Amino acid sequence: GAVVSQHPSRVICKSGTSVKIECRSLDFQATTMFWYRQFPKKSLMLMATSNEGSKATYEQGVEKDKFLINHASLTLSTLTVTSAHPEDSSFYICSARPTGTSGGRYGYEQYFGPGTRLTVT
Amino acid sequence: SQKIEQNSEALNIQEGKTATLTCNYTNYSPAYLQWYRQDPGRGPVFLLLIRENEKEKRKERLKVTFDTTLKQSLFHITASQPADSATYLCALDRNAGNNRKLIWGLGTSLAVNP
């Protein structure tokens, strides 16, 4: 159980184009999803927290107009990298927190997708 | 700011031995701490969560301890196998209003040699 899928797994695009990455929770509902990026030999960097039916909360330094997040249903969140540039090339990973876990003092785990390798040429 | 340190050097051990990985943190008192496994080119996989009022938690061959005085967590894999070779990430919660978030360590690479 607790499977998260991401699509595509790998994408190459030209500079200036936009790329959409989908994150789906397959066997559970997720009110909250998270988008991370990871550079080689670096820790996971949280980009934004996506809440179903509301605007995403972006981390400091992350351009919300460049990284558009839509969490339209309890099982799907999308990240669109607009006007991509080579410096946007990275490994993007989403995770989902099952609905019903309080996220309070008792904590909760996150279930991650397999990641999307974006290369902008 | 909060800082998490994990063994920066790769850990190489012989199959069958116990692997012990360390996670130290500063400037924070997390309510809970988590350990994940990450294989190359893949997303992390949740392993264990331990809360501030728990000293130890076990799951099959895995054991995690949490010492809030030392600000340290130890992650043990007993009877290690080559299939345990991966990078292991430590993460702490950071309460940020209505959205709890995790702060991540860089991870420790473990290689179990047959």
The per-residue pLDDT for A107 is: 52
Cis ω for the linkage preceding A8 (within 30 of 0): yes
Enumerate residues 6+ apart whose C-beta is below 8 A from B69: none
Q: Across the interface, do A109 and B34 touch by the CB < 8 Å criterion? A: yes
Structure tokens, B61: 């061959």
Q: Across the interface, do A115 and B107 touch by the CB < 8 Å criterion? A: no
Distance CA B64, CA B44 (A): 17
pLDDT tops 70 at residue A7: yes
Q: Taking an 8 Å Cβ-Cβ cutoff, which residues of chain A contact chain B?
A: 4, 6, 32, 34, 41-44, 46, 49, 51, 57, 91, 93-95, 103-115, 117
Q: What is the average pLDDT across A14-28?
A: 95
Low-confidence ranges of chain B (pLDDT < 70): 1-2, 95-100
The per-residue pLDDT for B95 is: 61
**Chain B: residue nearest A104 by CA?**
B100
Q: What angle do CA B71, B77, B78 make, to 5 degrees?
A: 130
Q: In this predicted model, what pLDDT tens digit does every residue of A56-114 receive, in sequence order?
A: 999 999 999 999 999 888 899 999 999 999 999 999 999 998 876 544 444 577 899 99
**Chain B: residue nearest A44 by CA?**
B104
| % of chain A at pLDDT higher than 70 | 93
* HEC secondary structure over chain A: CCCEEEECCEEEECCCCCEEEEEEECCCCCCEEEEEEECCCCCCEEEEEEECCCCCEECCCCCCCCEEEEEEECCEEEEEECCCCHHHCEEEEEEEECCCCCCCCCCCCCEECCCEEEEEC
Strand partners, B109: B87
